[in-house]
Amino acid sequence: MTPSSLATSATWRELHAQPSIWTDWAEPLAAQAGDVAQWVAARGIEEVWFSGAGTSAFIGDILSAEASTPLRLRSVPTTDFVAAPRAYLATTARVLNVQFGRSGDSSETLGMLDLIARHRPDFDSLHITCNPKGALATRPHEGPGELRRIVLPEATHDAGFAMTSSFSTMLLSAAAVFRGGASAASLPELARTASSILGHPRLAELNRPERAVFLGSGALKGAAREAALKVLELTAGNTLAIWDSALGFRHGPKSAVTPDTHVFVFLHPDPHTRRYDTDIATELEAQFPGLAVTRIGPGGDIDFEGGADPAQGAALYVLPAQVLAARWSAALGLPVDDPFEGQALTRVVSGVKLYALP
């Protein structure tokens, strides 16, 4: 794929549309987030499950980390729930299940909806989706648990294989409801920062490595996981991408570093946490002379403030990986919007055999 065809791909257009999407969505989101937050309080919710598969599950990883709220926030991927439902269904807590889905139609999404409807209809549900025609937006609901929905703007329903604007806007929407330090009103400022990140000159200078490592602490660990997936997906596995926490990387995963590895370290907004991020970056440069290390965040090579809430700010940290993954995909001659050309991996996972729970 030539640079010109990269620029005309849906993926390239969608990832660069994020600042305008966030800005336009701020006002409608503020009203919806406020209504949902009041509903959650009125329902007496004790525990919130953030559910999805793949990228949608990583939203839950981000939101449930570093949370300062009376609610217990848990990441419960649909893929985990469907495989081992008994581990979750026996809870005695008052549960709100928040389902994320770009299409809202993946096999595990439907499986989790079926299991909850049959075995725990008392659970309340919130569906956050980008597809107004998908199951999360249209499926009839039976109580006694109640259902609310937040359907994102049509522009977030990515046409490309990789989730970009869908990931970030679902994350920001849920953060506005459940994270005290996040708000819909801050989206325009986040959008301005996002524009500067997407246009950062360093992103045009970095060539594709054999391996890419993304490290983040706290809520940014989930962002590192999503960043790694973007590179792995869009390069069709030609760049092996892994992720970990800044401290966890020393405990074995550092063995993945080779001469042709590029390490991206997400510098946390909190100065205390950022010390550990800085230390691992400095350590790697000392132990592996010549190793490519890029620091992303406050004071880094790609410098920006991470925002008041690290979960909300996580949307910013993933942007460089989205840009690089698309560029590297095109450099490999792959169709960026469908790197696997319809084979092995597809945009929406379907056809998974689901088994009934007695």
What's the CATH number of domain 191-331, 3.20.20.370, 2.40.40.20, 3.40.50.10490, 3.40.50.720?
A: 3.40.50.10490
The 3-state secondary structure of 216-281, one letter per residue:
CCCHHHHHHHHHHHHHHHHCCCCCEEEEECCCHHHCCHHHHCCCCEEEEEECCCCHHHHHHHHHHH
- The per-residue pLDDT for 344 is 63
Check whether 225 has a pLDDT greater than 90.
Answer: yes
> What's the mean pLDDT in 6-20?
96
Closest by CA position to 43, among listed 111, 117, 125, 102: 125
User: Distance between CA atoms of 217 and 345, rounded to whole angstroms?
Assistant: 30
Check whether 350 has a pLDDT greater than 70.
Answer: no
SS3 (DSSP) at 114: helix
**The amino acid at 115:** L
> What's the mean pLDDT in 248-254?
97
- The per-residue pLDDT for 343 is 73
The CATH code that applies to domain 3-186 is 3.40.50.10490
User: CB-based burial of residue 250 (10 Å sphere; 0-12 exposed, 13-18 middle, 19+ buried)?
Assistant: middle
Task: Please write the tens of the pLDDT for every residue from 136-160.
Answer: 999 999 889 999 999 999 999 999 9
Task: Please write the tens of the pLDDT for every residue from 159-184.
Answer: 999 999 999 999 999 999 998 778 89
* Distances from the Cα of 332 to the Cα of 2, 94, 224, 339, angstroms: 10, 49, 23, 10
> What's the mean pLDDT in 342-348?
67
- The per-residue pLDDT for 110 is 94
Check whether 3 has a pLDDT greater than 70.
Answer: no
> What's the mean pLDDT in 203-219?
97
Task: Please write the tens of the pLDDT for every residue from 104-147.
Answer: 999 999 999 999 999 999 999 999 999 999 999 999 998 899 99
* Distances from the Cα of 22 to the Cα of 50, 153, 224, 316, 326, angstroms: 21, 10, 21, 12, 21
**Lookup: tokens for 241:** 């991408």
Contact 229, 54 (CB under 8 A): yes
Q: Do domains 3-186 and 191-331 have the same CATH topology?
A: yes
- The per-residue pLDDT for 356 is 84
- Residue ranges per structural domain of the chain: 3-186, 191-331
Contact 18, 155 (CB under 8 A): no
SS3 (DSSP) at 329: helix
- The per-residue pLDDT for 322 is 98
> What's the mean pLDDT in 233-260?
97
Which band of pLDDT confidence, cut at 50, 70 and 90, is reported for residue 345? low
> What's the mean pLDDT in 204-210?
97
> What's the mean pLDDT in 180-203?
94
Task: Please write the tens of the pLDDT for every residue from 272-283.
Answer: 999 999 999 999
- The per-residue pLDDT for 341 is 85
- The per-residue pLDDT for 346 is 66
